[in-house]
Amino acid sequence: MLWIAVGILLRMILIVFPRPGDDDTGVYLELGRYLLHRGIYGLAEGNNLVPSLIRLPGYPLILAVFEQLFAGFLPKTWLNLVFAVQAVADLAAGLLLAAFARRHLSDRTAEVVLALAMLCPFTAAFTGIAMTECLSVFAVSLGVYAAGQALSAAQTGWLDLWAVALAGTAAALSMLLRPDGVLLFAALAAGLLWTTTRNFAARQGIGRGLRAGAACVALFSIVALAPLAPWAWRNWTRFHVFEPLAPRYVNDPGKRNNLGFYRWMRTWSVEYVSTGNVFWNVGEEEIDLDDLPARAFDSPQQREQTSLMLDEYNRTHSISAELDDRFAALAAERIRSHPLRYYLVVPLMRVADMALRPRTWSFDLDIFWWRWSEHPGQTMAAVLLGLINLGYVGLAVWGFLRRRVPWPWMLGGYLVMRCLLLATIENSEPRYTLECFPILIVAAGAALAPAKDWQSNGLARTNPDHAHHASGMTF
């Protein structure tokens, strides 16, 4: 109870003190508001309300419903009720992870996991920010817990239908919040299929193993994908595109994306600073050549060419099709000259930056956190946050290397898929790695627990007799 009380206090503090805002919050609220009040999921363009598919409907609907219910008598503070729900979700996520650790590792490991979850400042910070991250972390935690229940039952020759359905619900929630939620769906589906098929086949033969695996994944997939069906149908009938999630770039069908410019950015963009100074400025503000790192230029001639193109952009704050083609040509030239840098070195650096950089934005610290002379207090806070973050990541890696993590190929597979996805984007943001923390917390807790309290095969807390008291079926 002590750790839960500390977790509640931490989240209350982070909600009470002002949190940074984000343009995405306004977009979510506008989409949800128009859907509730006008029946159109879209955004205003001048005097017109234009249908859109740039954001999934889960979080917009949550914000709009809370506004509808509470803004009338709490006009300035109704958002605090959203934050309270997010705090409860984050606390529940920690309890789910602790329950997972207790069942599959040990009681003492569960206590360590609970402490790491309750004290984690990075997940706690997003309880007071109106964005999808907090609920996405809850969805991943719920998916880990439910999949653990289902896999544990499968190891005893029992198919726990309720656990499988709960895992599907977690995947559905994850995908309704963010398009990268499909990674949770993929990781859990692979884990359920492989473990169920293998264990049933070992006990009852390959035929029954295949049937059990197919039934398990079928149920999981139906529960996970059914809530997306109306969204996919709406996008097909409205835009004539198959889009069951949301597009990578925030433009609706028929509108041009600056693909050449984005590809050019991927040849050099690594730091979060570049996201703030370049990526977010497109269409809004000027881009200063001096804000680009030295690796953005391979020669003085290339620097001059880049300068001319940025000057053209700065005159209008827009990227024309012709200018975008020139950025694409420059990107192609840089990739031909240094393919290893483009396909391996820069992506690895980008993921490392997102995983290890002090998470200054969510604590409203200066993005240039290392400038001690300008703000020594903020620099010290950022260094501390960076060390805490490094501790979570380092301990988690140690837990995986020591083979202390249950079902490491499924949980680790989710982390690998997420890193591969993040390696392909041009706008480095540390918040994109937040959904990794449920698994990092479990792995870190396993690394910290005494060696005698764990087993690496995921069976440490499985009771064969328990399976026959669960709601499920045999094959």
Check whether 468 has a pLDDT greater than 50: no
In a domain, 15, yes or no: yes
In a domain, 404, yes or no: no
In a domain, 393, yes or no: no
In a domain, 336, yes or no: no
Q: Where in 30-156 does DSSP place strands (E)?
A: 42-45, 48-51
CB within 8 Å of 463: residues ≥ 6 apart: none
3-state secondary structure 202-263: HHHCHHHHHHHHHHHHHHHHHHHHHHHHHHHHHHHHHHCCCCCCCCCCCCCCCCCCCHHHHH
> CA-based angle 68:71:74, to the nearest 5?
150
Residue 19: what pLDDT?
A: 75
Residue 366: what pLDDT?
A: 87
Q: Quickly state the pLDDT bin for 454 (edges 50, 70, 90).
A: low
Containing 31, the helix (H) or strand (E) segment is helix 23-38
Residues in the chain: 475
Q: Rounded mean pLDDT of 66-94?
A: 94
Q: Rounded mean pLDDT of 199-203?
A: 84
**Residue labelled with tokens 């139906």:** 222
Q: Any idea which of 128-142, 305-319, 368-382 has the lowest mean pLDDT?
A: 368-382
> CA-based angle 221:224:227, to the nearest 5?
125
Check whether 207 has a pLDDT greater than 90: no
Check whether 368 has a pLDDT greater than 90: no
Residue 252: what pLDDT?
A: 87
CA pair distance 26, 59, nearest whole angstrom: 11
In a domain, 287, yes or no: no
| Percentage of the residues of the chain whose pLDDT score is greater than 70 | 95
Check whether 380 has a pLDDT greater than 70: yes
In a domain, 191, yes or no: yes
Q: What is the mean pLDDT of the chain?
A: 91
Alpha helices in 258-299 (DSSP H): 259-266, 272-277
Check whether 233 has a pLDDT greater than 50: yes
pTM of the model: 0.92
For the chain, what is the domain count? 1
> Per residue in 235-276, pLDDT tens?
999 999 999 999 988 788 888 899 999 999 999 999 999 998
Check whether 354 has a pLDDT greater than 90: yes
> Per residue in 134-156, pLDDT tens?
999 999 999 999 999 999 998 88
In a domain, 343, yes or no: no
Residue 265: what pLDDT?
A: 97
Residue 460: what pLDDT?
A: 45
Reading the block at residue 209, the tokens are 């193993």
Phi and psi, residue 294, nearest 5°: -60, -30
Q: Rounded mean pLDDT of 274-288?
A: 92
Q: Rounded mean pLDDT of 418-422?
A: 96
Q: Rounded mean pLDDT of 362-390?
A: 91
Check whether 453 has a pLDDT greater than 70: no
In a domain, 46, yes or no: yes
Q: Any idea which of 21-25, 88-92, 364-368, 450-454 has the lowest mean pLDDT?
A: 450-454
Check whether 18 has a pLDDT greater than 80: no
Check whether 209 has a pLDDT greater than 90: no
Residue 452: what pLDDT?
A: 61
Residue numbers of the domain that contains 157: 2-241
Range 312-343 burial, b when 16+ CB lie within 10 A, else e: ebeeeeebeeebbebbbebbeebbeeeeebbe
> Per residue in 24-51, pLDDT tens?
899 999 999 999 999 999 999 888 899 9
> DSSP readout, 312-368?
HHHHHTS--HHHHHHHHHHHHHHHHH-HHIIIIIHHHHHHHHHHHS---GGGT--SS
Q: Rounded mean pLDDT of 58-68?
A: 96
